[in-house]
Amino acid sequence: MSNEHQNIHEFDFNLICEYFSLIERQGPGSPEMTLKALSFIDNLNDESVIADLGCGTGGQTMTLAQHTTAKVTGLDLFPGFIEQFNKNAANINLQHRVKGVIGSMDQLPFERESLDLIWSEGAIYNIGFERGVTEWREYLKKGGYIAVTDASWFTDERPAEINDFWNEAYPEIDTIPVKVAQIQKAGYIPVAAFCLPENCWTTNFYAPQVAAQELFLKKHPDNITALELIANERREAELYNRYNQYYGYVFYIGKKL
């Protein structure tokens, strides 16, 4: 990759980061669903260590931290998100046990078998579901848990338009039974799988973007990357409104054998 390309790439990353920093969550979800998933995890205490991979600015991490006494590390590739994450941890006075670090989910900076819980909402797609659950398992203690959300089909068949859109965006999207089987095959007991309700996408993810988009477009009126980013987000939201009975995010929870 030439320097020129690298700079363009970095510039795009920074723009995307800037856009998503305007909203509290960078993916669909809700505190209620984070807590519902947490209710399946039964091994946590003051000594526990949790990692939230692809944590973004830490919307769900702060919920996790406030409802456990564990040490929590958020990991994300974007320095801008981690900066905001650490501010958010300080704002709720949990900076002594909640820390954001810059890093990649395909090269985790943890010891093998050191974590009690691996969390990841709306981010495992970056590495792929099967690869993520398989590789991350190495870092869990025996009896530790993994809890991740991933885009999933709710039905065996669906209209071509939405099928094509998702297969291009994320070819690993699949039905719930397929993903549960992948969790089992990777060496976990599939403890739970549940669908996130519609408001996790509409009220909590797409609605806050409307105001953010106006702000962002005012700031970058002639920037092609910015215009494309907004057009993509709007198209995704519009498709979700039309086809949300066919797909959504599912929380998958597994316990390492």
Output the smallest distance, CB 222 to ligand SAH, in A. 25
- Using an 8 Å Cβ cutoff, are 175 and 152 in contact? yes
Contacts with ligand SAH, 21-60, as mask; x by CB under 6 A: ----xxx-x------------------------xxx--xx
Closest distance between ligand SAH and the C-beta of residue 119, in Å?
8
Span from 98-106, 170-178, 218-226, 235-243 in contact with ligand SAH (CB under 6 A): 98-106
Single out the segment in contact with ligand SAH by CB under 6 A; choices: 62-70, 77-85, 178-186, 214-222: 77-85
Judged by CB under 6 A, the number of residues near ligand SAH is 21
Output the CA–CA distances (angstroms, integers) from residue 29 to 37, 150, 175, 227, in the order listed.
Answer: 11, 11, 19, 25
Task: Determine the residue type at 121.
Answer: E
Residue with tokens 């099967």: 130
Tokens encoding 111: 């010891």
Q: Which stretch binds ligand SAH (CB under 6 A): 75-83, 110-118, 168-176, 213-221?
A: 75-83
83 or 158: CB nearest ligand SAH: 83
**Which residue, among 47, 90, 39, has the nearest Cα to 64 in the 3D structure?**
39
Return the residues of window 142-181 that contact ligand SAH according to CB under 6 A. none
**Among candidates 103, 145, 160, which has minimal Cα distance to 126?**
103
Q: State which residue, 125 or 188, has the beta carbon closest to ligand SAH.
A: 125
CA 159 centroid distance within chain = 26
Measure the CA–CA gap between 123 and 249, rounded to whole angstroms. 11
- Contact call for residue 77 and ligand SAH (CB under 6 A): yes
Query: Based on CB atoms, which residue is closest to ligand SAH, 159 or 171?
Result: 171
Closer residue to ligand SAH, CB minimum distance, 102 or 192: 102
Options 102-110, 133-141, 165-173, 229-237: segment touching ligand SAH (CB under 6 A): 102-110
Name every residue whose Cβ is closer than 8 Å to that of residue 165 and which is 6 or more positions away in sequence: 239
One-letter amino acid at 224 equals I
Using CB under 6 A, which of 126, 134, 163, 244 touches ligand SAH? 126
> H or E element: which one contains 16?
helix 3-21
Segment near ligand SAH (CB under 6 A); pick from 41-49, 71-79, 137-145, 151-159: 71-79
Residue 242 tokens, joined: 């039309």
Per CB under 6 A, 122 contacts ligand SAH: yes
Sign of CA dihedral 183, 188, 190, 192: negative
Rule CB under 6 A: say whether 233 interacts with ligand SAH: no
Query: What tokens appear for 146 in the block?
Result: 């993994």
Rounded to whole angstroms, the Cα distance separating 145 from 48 reads 11
Q: How far is the CB of 142 from ligand SAH (least distance, A)?
A: 25
Which residues contact ligand SAH by CB under 6 A? Answer: 25-27, 29, 54-56, 59-60, 75-78, 81, 104-106, 121-123, 126
